Amino acid sequence: MPLEISRLTSLRTLPKVLIGGAGELKISDLKGLVHLQGHLKGLHEVKNPVHAKEANLQRKKHIYDLQMEWIDVFDGSRNGIIDYELLEGLRPFEKLTDLKIIRCTCLPTLGHLPSLQKLFVKSMDGLKRLNFELLGPSNTCHGVAFPLLEVLEFDDMKGWEEWSIRSGNMDGTFPCLCEIFIIDCPKINVVAMELIPLLRVLHVEGCSSLVLRSMVSVSSSIARLTIKNIKGLTRLRGEVLEHLKAVEYLTILHCDELTYFWESVTS
């Protein structure tokens, strides 16, 4: 990628940008590309929060799909504070609709993005807790966090232990969320969520039975439920089945310990 590309201040389309590696475009080279639209990926070599801020992604009004990926190193050399400052420096324009974050140690405040419809978080082994900080200040989005988010997916989060999100002073959280996927998150032992009224699709895989029990209780409108490889799941008790009355499609895979559910169904 020629470095002189930063002089093309009216450039609109650069579909897949690789940033940061040897011979690749530097994040600071994007600061003049006000009209850039499309995808940005490969942010694994950006190490300076100042350079991240210089990219001025908040002014890139046509970036609708953003992917941020960090190096796959968790040997103690990673700095969580620097990671957070990088994420804050790379804060995108508020009309972003799709965001994917891979292998970071923390998540920035994202609840303030009023147009975000899909959020994918993957391979963030360094992240242990996901709390209310994700929602953002209560004076944004008319007091509603993630006002248009429809799809939320967490995948391969080996170190994740706690998911506790309460809106507190905000007027609500996830009012449009209809699909949740939690895949290969084996260490979660605390889940505290408010009701998600429009949740229709729930996929829980490679997690503990606690995650399943907690998630089915956040909505009575779940129509499609997939349960796969749930550790310690031997039965679905009455209080769980009580929340599944709207289920139309049920898929159960690799849950060999589950016996009580089938007994209750056949009886």
**Number of domains composing the chain:** 1
Residue 225 CA, distance from chain mean position = 20
Domain with 169, as residue range(s), is 3-266
- What is the side-by-side order of every strand in the sheet holding 162-165? 129-130, 162-165, 190-193
- pTM, two decimals, is 0.72
The CATH number of residue 24's host domain is 3.80.10
Please give the Cα distance from 144 to 165 (Å, whole number): 13
Q: pLDDT (tens digit, 9 = 90+) per residue, 107-117?
A: 778 888 888 89
Contacts of 230 (CB under 8 A, 6+ apart): 204, 205, 206, 207, 208, 209, 211, 212, 255, 258
Lowest mean pLDDT among 30-34, 84-88, 158-162, 225-229: 30-34
What would the mean pLDDT of 69-75 be, rounded to a whole number? 57
pLDDT score, position 59: 72
Continuous segment of H or E residues that includes residue 85: helix 80-89
* Minimum mean pLDDT range among 14-23, 126-135, 145-154, 197-206: 14-23
Q: What is the pLDDT of residue 202?
A: 97
